[in-house]
Every structure is written in structure tokens, then in C-alpha cells.
Amino acid sequence: MNTRIEHDTMGEIAVPADHHWGAQTQRSLENFKIGGQRQPKEIITAFAYLKEACARANADVGKLTAQQAEAITAACRDIRAGRWDGEFPLVVWQTGSGTQTNMNVNEVIAHLAAEQGVPLHPNDHVNASQSSNDTFPSALHIAAALSVAEQVLPAAERLEAAFARLEAAYPDLIRIGRTHLQDATPLRFSQEVSGWRELVAAPCRMLRLAQTELCRLAIGGTAVGTGLNAPKGYDEMVCAYLRQLTGLEFRPDENKFHALTSKDALVFAHGALKALAANLMKIANDIRFEASGPRCGMGELRIPENEPGSSIMPGKVNPTQCEAVTMVAVQVMGNDAAIGMAASQGNFQLNVFLPVSAYNFLLSARLLADVCDSFRGHCVEGITPNVERMEHNLNNSLMLVTCLTPKIGYEAAAKCAKKALHDGTTLKEAVLALGLLTAEEFDETVRPEKMV
């Protein structure tokens, strides 16, 4: 491998000649050969937004020339476009402040600018008015807010719309309800689906609320929150450029001592992701149980048959999309535990669990966005009710007795239900045998369409 010699304050080090990073990136590569999970691409993209905004703000206050700021801007745009993805090799499991990733970005930008004839120092120019201690928390919030806005919410809204279409398609179909895994009173199938729709919509509202907190940035706090070496008003200038670049309402956190050491906004936002995961788990379980069978289960729903389900049982088809949803939900819940623990570890003026927090949050966002689209396209949009099975179960249910309670009383109604169950008869036969109603009175009273 061809190398070149780079240097930093610790001395010289050989760096691969065909890459654009510098000495600090190389030291991190050699010192942290842990796990192999690289810094998420979303973090690098967020840094590219942040470094451009910082460069433009620094130019406004005279800390960079227009040429220097433009060189940084051009490099950042190329990075966001994915042109230099191979230049960001650092793993998650490094310094807890993310300093080496900040320097990786600084070094790559400086080398790219030098190739365009604009010499820049990674610390003095690209990192001007900044510290890793305020840039990584800011990049983390930018990445989290963008992942929610561009990945999770659109995918969840598409899933919500698919449930809305299913709800509208069967307005009059009545089925038996179930509580405690036991028969309950009837409801419309569309009412059940409306619950699934809202189980997606509600966490989306929570995520939009959480965006307000994610959009508060630490930038301008520099090392410990005092803003040392940052010009007055620099934080607002950077956020103004970020608003232009991203379309999101980024603004400075008013208390930088809070912003550098606390990850409460991330915990709050990931809580909404966990709420979505929990609700998706519920929906997927409902659907796979109601589609169980085809002959020996509930069999009230038909779902798409996407692939063979067994290597030994011919003809078996499984609810694989539902299973994928539930596995994603479990992973997101585990990620939430990691983020909560990491957020509790802020010591004095800095939280040093930032990369692991970023990794878990962005993994959750990617998984939820992907699984919402997969579940929608390969399952939900193909759901159809088994009307015959629904009607059979409805008419066979003993819980229709509930509508008799106002007429014959709770205890007499319970006696009817228990007799029908014990004798293996219909509810009507039990009521007639006990002489509590005539056949005409029963038919007039027990009407499922009036119970929903």
C-alpha cells in the first residue's frame, strides 16, 4: 500500500496515499479496531451540513475568507452527495465525545480543498469557532432530526394511509371483538382497522413534538459551554444557515451547559420511536393471529403469500412480514435502553457516550422507516377479510348475550351464556330453553349491527 506522511501535534504517521484523511483519522483507525460498525452515514451528512454552515458564518465575521468558506462549502456538498463515503472509516467505538469523527471530517474537507488550490488547516480553518464538544452533539441532533423528518415520518404516514384505505374498503363488515384473548362484544372491522391506523398516527404526532427539542443545537458552546473562541452571535448565524440548508427549524440551545452534557432530547425523541415500535408490534401480532390457519387457526384475515414458509412442510406459508416487524420492534426497544443509559452518563461539562447514542438512534430510525414500507407494501396493502369466517364466529359467539342484559338482567344473561357453552348449543337455544324470551324477542334484541 502506498502511503504519505501526515503529522499532527503527536508527530508523524503514515496515511494511505489514495485517501483524503489525515493523521488523527489514521490514529483512530489504528487504535480502535473494535466491532467494525462505522459511524452512521447520517452523522457524516449532518457534519457536512454543519461544517458548511459554520464556514459561512465564519466568513460573515471575517474569520475565514470568502474563498476559504467556498472551498469548505464545495467539499461539504460533495460529501452530502455521497461522493466521498469511503473517506469516513472510523468506528462507533472510539472516544465518547466523537472527537476523532469531527477531525476525520475536518481533515477530509481540508485535503479536498487543497486539491482545489485552497490550503486549509483542519483545526484552524475547518474547525474555526468550534470544538468537537459542540459539533458532535449538534451533528447528532441534526442527523436525528433529519432521519425523523426524511425517513421515519414519511414511511409511517404511508403506512397510516394504507390502513385508512383498508378501513374505508369495509365500512359495514361486523366481526366479533376479543379482549383478554377471549370473545367480547362485536365491532366493525373498519373500527378495528381505525385503531391500527391511529396506532401509527399517534407516535407520529409525538415525533413531530420531539422535533422541537432535537432542533436545539449545542453549536457555539465550544469546549465546556462558555463559547470560548466563538464570535458573539455565532450560534444563531450557524443555525440560520442550517435552516436554509435543511428546511428544519434549527436554533441555538439557550443553555450550552445543558446542551453539551445532556441527551434528554434524544431520549425523548427515541421514546417516540419506541412508541411507534411498540404499536407496530401490537398491529403485527393482531394481523398474524387473525390470519392464522389456514384451517386450524382464527383465519379471519387473508394476507399476501410472499414466499414458502418451510423447508420440510410443503405448501406452508408464514406471516413473515409480521415477524420482521416484531423483530425490528424488539431491536428498537433494546436501542432505547442503550440510549437511556448513555444519556444518564453526562459527567460535569460533557456527555461522552455520543457515538453509541447516535448509532442506536439512527439504527432505530432506519429500521422503522424500512419496516413500515416493507410491511405496507408486502402485507397491509394485500389484506382482505375472510367474510365467511368472520360471520360464522360472530354468530357463534356467546358474548352477543351482552345486549340481553338490559332486558333480562346480568345474572340471567350470564346463566344463558354458561348454559349454551356447557350444552354446546347456540345462545338462542339456551335462552329459549330457560324460557327467558320468545324467539321473536330474541331475534329483535340480538342484532349485532346495533351493538357497534
Give dist(CA 351, CA 157) in Å, integer.
34
Q: At what angle do helices 132-147 and 99-115 cross, to 10 degrees?
A: 90
Catalytic-role residue among 138, 310, 311, 357: 310
- In angstroms, rounded to a whole number, what is the distance separating the alpha carbons of residues 284 and 310? 20
DSSP one-letter string for 106-133: HHHHHHHHHHTT----IIIIITTT--HH
Question: DSSP per residue over 385-418, as a string?
Answer: E-HHHHHHHHHH-GGGGGGGHHHH-HHHHHHHHH
d(CA 155, CA 369): 5
Q: How far apart are CA 312 and CA 189, in angstroms?
A: 35
180 classed as catalytic = yes
Is-contact 6 26, C-beta < 8 A? yes
Three-state DSSP class for residue 321: helix
Annotation says 310 is catalytic: yes
Helix (H) or strand (E) holding 207, with range, is helix 189-214
Contact 434, 416 (CB under 8 A): yes
The three-state DSSP-derived secondary structure of 42-88 is HHHHHHHHHHHHHHHHHHHCCCCCHHHHHHHHHHHHHHHCCCCHHHC
Q: Is there a contact between 4 and 15 (Cβ–Cβ < 8 Å)?
A: yes
Q: Cα(85)–Cα(105) distance, rounded to whole angstroms?
A: 11
Q: Which residue has the cell 412508541?
A: 275
Q: Which residue is catalytic, options 180, 258, 292, 392?
A: 180
Q: So which residues are the catalytic ones?
A: 180, 310
